[in-house]
Amino acid sequence: MQKGNTRERILAAALDLFSVKGYEGTTIDDIAARVGIKGPSIYKYLKGKADLFRALGEKTDEEYNAGMDKVLSEAENVHSGKELKEFTMHSITFTINSEVITKMRRVLSIEQFRNEDFAERTTVHHLKKITTIYTKLFQRLMDEGVMIKGDPEIFAMEFTAPTTLLIHMSDRQPEKKQEALATIERLVDSYIDRHCLIK
């Protein structure tokens, strides 16, 4: 089997296990067994569990950034409440339906209280990045007269916080994904009704 192929299988197995057992609760032998190789064989591909997690984070970030870059390029086309809803629902649908991103959110949720690096990564992914995106978008929409004037960062937090909670509910209880999406859509509609001057 090709080295690249085995490395990808190791990363996929690690993500599966980390998302259920956590980083600390998963051993190199657990990952190797899932792949069908001996534990020491993993060291041919990665230096250890920390290196494995770093590589997994990079891979997840690549997928997330590739998807979000496409979504973010659409932010420039938002000039009304209707377009804000389309943009928002498209980005949420992407992140909630990506199996890799969902599993990584689970890993971060499990490990954020055990590891400072995981805690910071969780804050960046679940709060800072999304708040920054919407702060910039809302500032532009205010400048264009599409939204009422206010603090764009606070508006962004009001907009994204309930959505983030519902995405996490869907991660914990996948059977509630459609319920979460429906509630998010209602929240977006309500927000637009209250904040957008151009619907």
The string of pLDDT tens digits covering residues 16-25 is 999 999 888 9
- Per-residue confidence at 165, pLDDT binned at 50, 70, 90? very high
* Residue-range definition of the domain harbouring residue 148: 57-195
Task: Please give the pLDDT value at position 24.
Answer: 87
What is the residue-wise DSSP string for 104-117?
HHHHHHHHTTT-HH
- If one counts the domains in the chain, the total is 1
What's the CATH code of the domain at 180? 1.10.357
Residue 141 within a domain:
yes
**CA separation for the pair 192, 159 (Å, rounded):** 10
pTM: 0.85
Contact 110/96 with Cβ under 8 angstroms? Answer: no
Radius of gyration over every alpha carbon of the chain, rounded to an integer in angstroms = 19
Look up residue 49 and give its two tokens: 């569990």
Q: Is the confidence at residue 1, as pLDDT, over 50?
A: no
Dihedral of alpha carbons 137, 171, 158, 87, sign: positive
Q: Is the confidence at residue 68, as pLDDT, over 80?
A: no
**CA separation for the pair 88, 188 (Å, rounded):** 8
Residue 34 within a domain:
no
Per-residue pLDDT averaged across 137-150, rounded?
98
Query: Of 132 and 68, which is predicted with more confidence?
Result: 132
* Nearby residues of 126 by Cβ (< 8 Å), 6 or more positions away: 105, 108, 164
Residue 77 within a domain:
yes
Residue 18 within a domain:
no
Task: Please give the pLDDT value at position 72.
Answer: 77
Residue 148 within a domain:
yes
- Across the chain, mean pLDDT equals 91
**CA separation for the pair 101, 60 (Å, rounded):** 6
Task: Please give the pLDDT value at position 124.
Answer: 86
Residue 47 within a domain:
no
Residue 134 within a domain:
yes
**CA separation for the pair 30, 175 (Å, rounded):** 27
Residue 74 within a domain:
yes
